[in-house]
Structure 1
Amino acid sequence: MPENISKGRKFLYAKSYFIGVLVSTDSTISDWFENDERVQLEGFIKESSFADLLCELVHIFKAGLPNYYELSSLFSMNYEIVQGYLISRYGLENARKEKEEFERRFGKGKAGMDHGDKIICRVESVERNDQDIDKIEMDIDMECLKINDLYVYVNEIPDLDELKTNIEDRFNDVEINIVINKKLIVKDETYRIIVLKDENRVAE
């Protein structure tokens, strides 16, 4: 974990593990519930302007690799793995074995679980005072469970040029692109944050 992460934000960077991996941790249940910085961050995400929220997300990713469950829960408790659930639990190879065993016992096609070629976590009922975000989706790396892409689906496209300027004023080492006034992409070495409306997402 990077040394520049404050103690109160360590929960946000807890490493994700597949089932069956033995880990040791100093975290306790009280670290989750008795964390003033977590409460403050939840409040900021709920009450901030969209521009300030986007800058906070860039800051979070620049500080390290956030845990997708922890980041999701800051926006809403209504989140779930909508694609690749077995992979997110067991890893790709073990997920295939789990599916094969289930179908061997109950019949072909009875597993009812989509492996897909990626893991997608979706956050709905996003808790924002401005009600400007429809949903959030995260494309999760199948090998290490880090967030590769964070999609922020907005109800209305904001002024993307103004957003770009706002981010550039605070961060001088990220790449920012605007795609035909319909999508803003903030890109660094390990992640992308994409702001768009649902109908403007196309295969990439």
Structure 2
Amino acid sequence: MYTNNSEERKFLYSKLYFAGVIVDTDSNGFDWFGNDERGQLGRIIKESNFTDLICELVHIFKEGLPNYYELSSLFSMKYEIVQGYLISRYGLETARKEKEEFERRFGKGNAGMDNGDKIICRVENVERGDQDISKIEMDIDIECLKINDLYLFVNEIPDLNELKTNIEAKFDDIDIDIDFGNKLIIKDKTYRIIVLEDENRMTD
């Protein structure tokens, strides 16, 4: 399932820009042409079963820090910044100053999303054949624009114990927790992938 040659997936790790400034200096740049890996990965994202999708996402994060809008576009072309828009628009330095001033006035740790805490990218109309995911949210670090937390909101919670067992069979160096029986959290040093039920989903 996984690509052995990470060069073919370098589009996933393309350089990120923040208010016109490159903040990710370790990535490989855009690769729009020259291979079909984008299309192949898109098909995996859209057509694989849920367990294989999670394993694919773990593999993507283990290879490096994915560009959030490149990853978003594999799920759907409908994605947007829903919190932290001012941060994404005006840049890191202004966000830092706003956060420092806000915390000076109201206390450390109380800064809201638009005051320098984080950016949230939301993906809706997720294009999955199984229609198992209603939306995706990414909590993005303002320091380097990496994805800290990737939330997968599902229409129906799968058997989390079985999911945990299947993922652990393919990866032996990640932590997986089941929280209160209704949330699965995959943790590594630089990211988390969280599976939880979408309480706001549309029902018949």
1-side partners of 2:74 and 2:125: how far apart? 12
Matched AA of 1:60: I
Cα distance change on mapping 1:52 and 1:91 into 2, 3 Å: same
Aligned length: 180
Partner in structure 1 of residue 39 of structure 2: 39
Deviation of 1:179 (Å):
0.9
Native 8 Å contact 1:123 1:136 kept in 2: yes
Partner in structure 2 of residue 144 of structure 1: 144
Deviation of 1:145 (Å):
0.3
2-side partners of 1:133 and 1:145: how far apart? 24
Partner in structure 1 of residue 77 of structure 2: 77
Partner in structure 1 of residue 188 of structure 2: 188
SS of the counterpart of 1:194? strand
The TM-score normalised by the length of structure 2 is 0.80
Partner in structure 2 of residue 115 of structure 1: 114
> After superposition, where does 1:50-199 map in structure 2 within 5 Å?
50-94=50-94, 115-116=114-115, 117-199=117-199
Matched AA of 1:65: L
Native 8 Å contact 2:154 2:196 kept in 1: yes
Deviation of 1:92 (Å):
3.8
What is the aligned-residue RMSD (CA, Å)? 2.4
SS of the counterpart of 1:44? helix
Matched AA of 2:127: E
Matched AA of 1:180: F
2-side partners of 1:34 and 1:78: how far apart? 25
SS of the counterpart of 1:199? coil
1-side partners of 2:44 and 2:183: how far apart? 24
Matched AA of 1:115: D
1-side partners of 2:96 and 2:168: how far apart? 44
Native 8 Å contact 1:88 1:145 kept in 2: no
SS of the counterpart of 2:80? strand
Deviation of 1:199 (Å):
3.0
Native 8 Å contact 2:13 2:29 kept in 1: no
Partner in structure 2 of residue 103 of structure 1: none
Moved over 3 A (4+): 22-28, 95-98
Deviation of 1:181 (Å):
1.4
The TM-score normalised by the length of structure 1 is 0.80
Cα distance change on mapping 1:78 and 1:35 into 2, 3 Å: farther
1-side partners of 2:64 and 2:84: how far apart? 24
Deviation of 1:7 (Å):
1.9
1-side partners of 2:96 and 2:7: how far apart? 38
Matched AA of 2:71: L
SS of the counterpart of 1:127? coil
Native 8 Å contact 1:5 1:63 kept in 2: no
2-side partners of 1:148 and 1:26: how far apart? 20
2-side partners of 1:14 and 1:198: how far apart? 30
Matched AA of 1:138: M
SS of the counterpart of 1:66? coil
Structure 2 unaligned residues grouped into runs of 5+: 99-112
% identity of equivalent residues = 74
Deviation of 1:88 (Å):
1.9
For each residue in 1:129-149, what CA deviation from the matched residue of structure 2 results, as whole angstroms up to 9, or x when unmatched? 000000000000011100000
